[in-house]
Chains A and B, each alone.
Chain A
Amino acid sequence: MHELSIALGILKIAAEQAEHLGAKRVVSVHLRLGPLSGVVKDALVFSYDLARAGTPLGDARLVVEESPLEGFCQVCQGPRPVVSCHELACASCGAPVGEITSGRELEIVALEIV
C-alpha cells in the first residue's frame, strides 16, 4: 500500500501552499480523487490522520471529493459517463471507452485556511 507516502505528499504540498498563502492555520485540505487513481479513499484518510499528527497541519482534516468516471465515447462522439472501473464502456451506448477524461485525479483542489 502506498497511501502513507501519498498522505505524506499531501501534507508536504499543503504545508507549502499554506505558507505561500500566508495562512496561520489550515482547517481542511480538499482532495479530488478518481476511481482509477490507484488510491483507496479509506486507506488514504487513515494514513493521513496518522501522518498529520505533530505536523503544522495537525488540525487539518482531509476532505475527499470523489470524481466521476467519464470518458470520450467514439460512438456517441462526446464525453459520457463510464459504467465502472471494471467495465470501461459508455454508460449510454455500451461501446468500449479507450480514452478516460475523468477518473485518474489525485490532486489537492482547495485549502480551508485561517
Chain B
Amino acid sequence: MNEVTRLVEVRERVLKHNDVVARALRSRFAAAQVYTVSLVSSPGAGKTAFLEEVLRQLKPRHNVAALVGDLATDNDAARLARSGAPVRQITTGAVCHLEAEMVARALEGWDLASLDLLFIENVGNLVCPASFDLGENLRLVLLAVTEGEDKPLKYPSIFNTADVAVITKCDLAAAAEFDRARALANIHAVRPGMPVFELSARTGHGIDAWLSFLESRVATSAAIAGGRPSTPECQAG
C-alpha cells in the first residue's frame, strides 16, 4: 500500500469520563456539605470491621451513611447497617474496583443534604482502585498488621494516591511479629508525610485519635466551604 500516514497529536486522558463524573460528584458533595471518605485495602484487611466501629461511634453525633462495594453478596452492607446508619451495597459483578459512575448511580434518590459524612468502601483490591477518582475528600488506605510490612512497596500506586493510612488489627501485632518501624518507613517511602493511625477495631484502641483527625478535617472543610461552623458537639469526645 502506498498510503501516506500522518501522526496527529491528540491529548486525551483515558479515564477522562471517570474524572468528569468524579468532578461532578465532588461538586455535589461540596454543595450538600457532605464530607466523603473512601476506603481502600486488600481483601481481609479489616475495612468493614473498621467502618462498623467508626459508624457506631459517629452515629450519635453526625448524620453518617455508607456505600459499600463488593464483587458479590450484600453481607458487608448488612453488617454496616447494624450501626443504624443508612447503607447501600454496590455489587460490581466482575468489576474489581468502584468507578465514579457506580457511586453516582448508588446515590440516586438519596438526600445528600441530610448527611454530614459519607463513607465509600471500595472493593478489596490494592491495584485497580488507584486509578479511579470517586469524588471523595479523603482517601484512606488500610493495612493490617497480619499483611506484612512491605505491602506499601508492593503496591506503591494505591498508597501514593491515599491521603491517610490506617494500620488495623493492632491487637494482633505481637502475634504477627509486626515490625512497626519498618511498616511506617515503607508507607512514608511511597507517600512522604502521610498521616498514619494505628488501631484495633476489636479493642477500640486508637479509634479516638483517628476520629479526632477525621472530625477536624470535616470541620476545616466545612469552614472553608463557608458552611456550617464547627460546633462543639462535632469535636471528638
Contacts and interface: CB of A to CB of B under 8 A. Distances in A.
Given A9-B15, A96-B193, A36 B156 contact: yes
Given A112-B6, A113-B5, A17 B131 contact: no
Nearest to A9: B14
B7 A112 contact: yes
Contacts of B192: 88-89, 96-98
Given A1-B96, A38-B127, A113-B5, A107 B157 contact: no
A45 interface: no
B7 A111 contact: yes
Contacts of B6: 112-114
B42 to A, nearest CB: 15
Given A10-B14, A108-B14, A114 B156 contact: no
Given A13-B16, A96-B193, A37 B10 contact: no
A107 B131 contact: no
Interface residues of B, number: 34
A93 interface: no
A38 B12 contact: no
Query: Which size bracket describes the interface of A in this complex?
Result: 35 or more
A17 B13 CA distance: 12
A2 B14 contact: no
B191 to A, nearest CB: 7
Contacts of B189: 86-89, 96
Contacts of A97: 192
Given A1-B128, A31-B14, A106-B15, A37 B157 contact: yes
Given A2-B97, A96-B192, A107 B13 contact: yes
Contact of A5 (B7, B95, B188): B95
Interface in B1-40: 3-17
B153 interface: yes
Given A96-B193, A108-B10, A1 B95 contact: no
A2 B5 contact: no
B5 A114 contact: yes
A2 B15 contact: no
A107 B8 contact: no
Contact of B160 (A10, A100, A114): A100
B158 interface: yes
Interface string A1-43: 1100110011001000100010001010011000011110000
A13 B128 CA distance: 20
B130 interface: yes
Interface string B109-143: 00000000000000000011011000000000000
A39 B13 contact: no
6 contacts: A9-B17, A17-B12, A37-B157, A39-B131, A106-B15, A112-B8
Interface of B: 3-17, 95-97, 127-128, 130-131, 153, 156-158, 160-161, 188-193
10 nearest A-B residue pairs (beta carbon)? A96-B192, A38-B130, A2-B128, A85-B156, A38-B131, A38-B157, A86-B153, A114-B3, A107-B13, A98-B192
Interface of A: 1-2, 5-6, 9-10, 13, 17, 21, 25, 27, 30-31, 36-39, 85-89, 96-98, 100, 106-114
